[in-house]
Structure 1
Amino acid sequence: MRKGFTLVELLVAAAILVTVLAVALRYFVATAEAGRLTQAKSELQDRVRMVMQVVSGDLQLAGAKYWTQGATSVGFTLVGVLQGTDGGAKDTLTVRYVTSLRSLDSACRRVDYAFQGDTLRRSDENITSGTECKEGTPSPQPLAESILALDILYLCSDGSSRNTPDCGPDAYPRSAKLTVAGRSLIPVKGGGGTLTTVTGQTLTCPAGRLCYAMTQEVLMPNLKPVQ
């Protein structure tokens, strides 16, 4: 009668166990990496879309001069409604407008965008003074980090396109094409590659990170001169 296992049987059993554990470990690692990749992609896309939505909303309001509530309509005086500099892939932007979403005494807004490294910063100030909108002083706060580009191409009413909102004395910016690009905060396997912005800037995505870019055209109806 046999009372135990032979050495060969133990070695075979150990080999099978090691194989099963290795397969299980590979499965769990692959599952974890897939989850990390999905999380990184989702977070990155949400962050880029949020920036696009906020910047687009401000550009659409650029130059709006009237505060309305019910039958009440108040006109304000605005100066320098749209300003910006060409920073390659990282442009700056200053927008002034009047919004009915705020109370009358805070209807005038000055909104500024600028970069500090790869962090996009935004300032939103109340510049209301009676029925005028004063100059204001930016007080930027972080809006989103790991942003590789806020690149703006202004499309002018004379058919030209500019990297700044200055369309010349006989034209005005009728719309703007934006590219917002960012990289993932969560490291992943692989990554890397390049992206191209609306003005042809090439962005290098670092290894171990995902990168994502959106391009969108925004109409600016309030900038059309009153005839």
Structure 2
Amino acid sequence: MKRHGFTLVELLVALALLVTALAVGLRYFVATAETGRLTQAKGELQDRVRMVMQVVSGDLQLAGAKYWTRGTQSVGFTLVGVLLGADGGAKDTLTLRYVTSLREQNAACRRVDYTFDGDTLQRSDVNITPGSGTECLTGTPSPQALADGILALDIQYLCSDGSVKNTPDCGASAYPRSARLTVAGYSLTPVRGGGGSLTTVSGLTLTCPRDRLCYAMTQEVLMPNLKPVQ
């Protein structure tokens, strides 16, 4: 019995089917990998922005706290320059002071600073040099990187007289009752479908870098320790 091999046409058809199958499979794996990278970048970005919001909010809530307590002990300190800030557009800077009971009494007075180095948000938390008795004097900032890829730390201060300021200076007859802040950042790795724009609490429009995801959070933080003692 005479056997016949494949014809040229049959080989070409089989090759075309194989190439098509490989192309479909490759497209599927590329799409799956891109979706995974997009999901990972989005999760990392949101976690980073939430972390910054949590840390800054916690410091603002503590600003002006003056008492150190440990068991039955309670010591009141004198703080100078409790809350200072500069309007840097979308990148505000901030200096605040408070007393914490989480440290020993000789290290209870803290000075916290927030500054920017490009798109890196820096935080400094140092012990304030104690003066005579319970007076907290000053401390030298030591900035450390808190988070990269931060487009905005935009803060508005709501004063007790109803006014809204871009710095914590509410005047002689009022004090900052709370702060509204926007933290915005972008993904550290490029992804498809990035770009766009964001709006901060003070109405500033930010352009997201090309091929990067962007995410922003805005919330209000009460600052109960800034209310003057009657």
TM-score range, shorter chain: over 0.9
- Aligned partner of 2:30 in structure 1 is 29
1:152 is the counterpart of 2:155: yes
**Partner SS for 1:90:** coil
Alignment match, 1:68: 69
The share of aligned pairs that are identical, in percent, is 81
Residue 79 (structure 2) pairs with residue 78 (structure 1): yes
1:11: Cα distance to partner? 0.6
Among 141, 144, 152, the residue aligned to 2:144: 141
Query: 1:134, CA displacement in angstroms?
Result: 1.4
Q: Kindly indicate whether the alpha-carbon contact (under 8 Å) linking 1:65 and 1:76 is maintained by their aligned counterparts in 2.
A: yes
Aligned pair 1:125/2:147, yes or no? no
Count the aligned residue pairs. Answer: 227
Normalised by the size of structure 1, how large is the TM-score?
0.98
Does the 8 Å CA contact 1:107/1:128 hold for their aligned counterparts? no
Say whether the 8 Å CA contact 2:114–2:122 is kept in structure 1. Answer: yes
Alpha carbons 1:109, 1:128 under 8 Å: kept: no
Secondary structure in structure 1 of the residue aligned to 2:192: coil
1:39 & 1:95 partners in 2: Cα distance?
Answer: 35
SS at match of 1:132: coil
Deviation at 1:5, TM superposition (A): 1.1
Pairwise CA distance, 1:128:
4.4
Corresponding letter in the other structure for 2:204: Q
Q: In structure 1, what is the Cα distance between the partners aligned to 2:140 and 2:104?
A: 20
Residue 165 (structure 1) aligned with residue 172 (structure 2): no
Structure 1: 4+ residue segments shifted above 4 A: none
Q: Is contact 2:129–2:139 with CA below 8 Å preserved after alignment?
A: no
2-structure distance, mates of 1:27, 1:167: 58
Q: Which residue of 2 aligns with 1:93?
A: 94
Displacement, 1:2? 2.7
Contact 2:129 / 2:138 at 8 angstroms: preserved in 1? no
Q: How far apart are residue 123 of structure 1 and its match?
A: 0.4
- Cα RMSD after superposing both structures: 0.8
What is the alpha-carbon distance in structure 1 between the residues aligned to residue 102 and residue 219 of structure 2?
24
Deviation digits for residues 117-157 of structure 1 (CA, Å, limit 9, x no counterpart) = 11100100011415221111111111101100000000000
Offset at residue 6 of structure 1 (A) = 1.1
Unaligned runs of 5+ in 1: none
Query: Whole-Å Cα distance in 2 between the matches of residues 95 and 2 of structure 1?
Result: 91
